[in-house]
């Protein structure tokens, strides 16, 4: 009988300790604070994490919705810009080809920038000489008329 009583008392102590641990997280026989907060504390912590995760999920959904709307708004503009860009690229390629053709024509004609500058300087010099000769000619004509 004594052994049954001791076994029942030990079982009762174990059950009370389990209840105490579940409610407070502290074992009545344990001196350290390992597992502090107990079952209820862990449950509250898990609920808080769940609520935080739910809030983050809702915020992420809102951001996704906003990003999808922005994408929907910008996609037609991007396609239009792409088409315009293709046209400009083709036009640029055409202009480059035209410029290259003109360079080839100029080179085949024997054009030289230095030579052109020299000829322009000679032309300017000749124009000045012609002007001076014209002035002398006018002077001589006037003098001849004055002598008559």
Kindly give, in sequence order, each residue whose CB lies less than 8 Å from that of residue 93, ignoring residues fewer than 6 positions away: none
CB of 40 within 8 A of CB of 22? yes
Q: Is residue 33 part of a domain?
A: no
Q: Is residue 131 part of a domain?
A: yes
Q: Is residue 133 part of a domain?
A: yes
Examine the pLDDT at 144 and tell me if it is beyond 80.
yes
Q: Which residue has the tokens 């004509």?
A: 141
Q: Is residue 138 part of a domain?
A: yes
Residue 60 is predicted with a pLDDT of 92
Q: Is residue 52 part of a domain?
A: no
Q: Is residue 126 part of a domain?
A: yes
pLDDT digits (tens, 9 = 90+) for 4-27: 888 888 888 888 887 777 776 555
Q: Is residue 136 part of a domain?
A: yes
Q: Which residue has the tokens 């300017």?
A: 124
Mean pLDDT rounded to a whole number for the chain:
83
- What's the CA gap between 26 and 40, in Å, rounded? 11
Q: Which whole-number Å values give the CA distances from 32 to 15, 26, 28, 29, in the listed order?
A: 20, 8, 10, 9
How many structural domains compose the chain? 1
What is the value of pTM for the model shown? Answer: 0.39
Domain span holding position 129: 118-148
- In this structure, what token pair is assigned to residue 20? 């105490």
CB of 35 within 8 A of CB of 25? yes
């Amino acid at each position: 009988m004594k052994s049954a009583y001791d076994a029942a008392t030990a079982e009762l102590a174990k059950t009370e300790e389990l209840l105490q641990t579940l409610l407070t997280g502290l074992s009545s026989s344990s001196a350290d604070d390992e597992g502090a907060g107990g079952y209820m504390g862990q449950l509250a912590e898990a609920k808080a994490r769940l609520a935080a995760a739910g809030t983050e999920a809702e915020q992420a959904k809102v951001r996704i919705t906003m990003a999808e709307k922005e994408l929907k708004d910008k996609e037609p503009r991007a396609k239009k810009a792409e088409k315009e860009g293709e046209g400009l690229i083709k036009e640029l390629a055409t202009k480059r080809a035209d410029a290259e053709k003109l360079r080839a024509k100029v080179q085949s004609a024997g054009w030289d920038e230095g030579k052109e500058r020299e000829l322009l300087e000679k032309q300017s010099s000749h124009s000045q000489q012609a002007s001076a000769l014209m002035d002398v000619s006018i002077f001589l004509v006037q003098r001849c008329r004055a002598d008559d």
